[in-house]
Amino acid sequence: MPTRTPRMAQIEALLADDPTDAFLRYGLAMEHVSVADDATAAEHLRRLCADSTYVPAFLQAGQVLNRLNRPDEAADVLRRGIAIARQQGDSHAEGEMAGLLATL
């Protein structure tokens, strides 16, 4: 069973009040990354990427999916993230995602 942290419980409680908060949803995914639960993190990040344009989620989703040996899914999420970063003028994130995409 994956490790649960007190921080996960705190974030989940906050999300119960505002389930659309992208930053909280990202934070919950990153808590799962911090305990090496990439499978759960991937699900949180994939849902976040489907529902928002929160650029950091796309990079993290690409990294997590790559670690899970799901390169096709990683490439798809990174391509979408690159387009969103470009629209938002975030050239740094765009470059990081393009770099990761090139390694897949």
Q: Give the start-end residues of each E strand in 37-103.
A: none
- Per the domain annotation, does 32 fall within a domain? yes
- Per the domain annotation, does 22 fall within a domain? yes
Please count the structural domains in the chain.
Answer: 1
Residue 3 — pLDDT band, cuts 50, 70, 90? Answer: confident
Stretch 14-22: mean pLDDT, rounded?
94
- pLDDT of 1 above 70: no
Domain that holds residue 55: 6-103
How far is the C-alpha of 61 from the C-alpha of 39, rounded, in Å? 11
- The owner of tokens 């391509």 is 79
CATH number at residue 36: 1.25.40.10
- Per the domain annotation, does 98 fall within a domain? yes
Tens of pLDDT, residues 27-41: 999 999 999 999 999
Cα dist from 28 to 48, 76, 79, 94, whole Å: 11, 22, 23, 23
- Per the domain annotation, does 24 fall within a domain? yes
- pLDDT of 68 above 90: yes
- Per the domain annotation, does 1 fall within a domain? no
Cβ atoms of 57 and 45 closer than 8 Å: yes
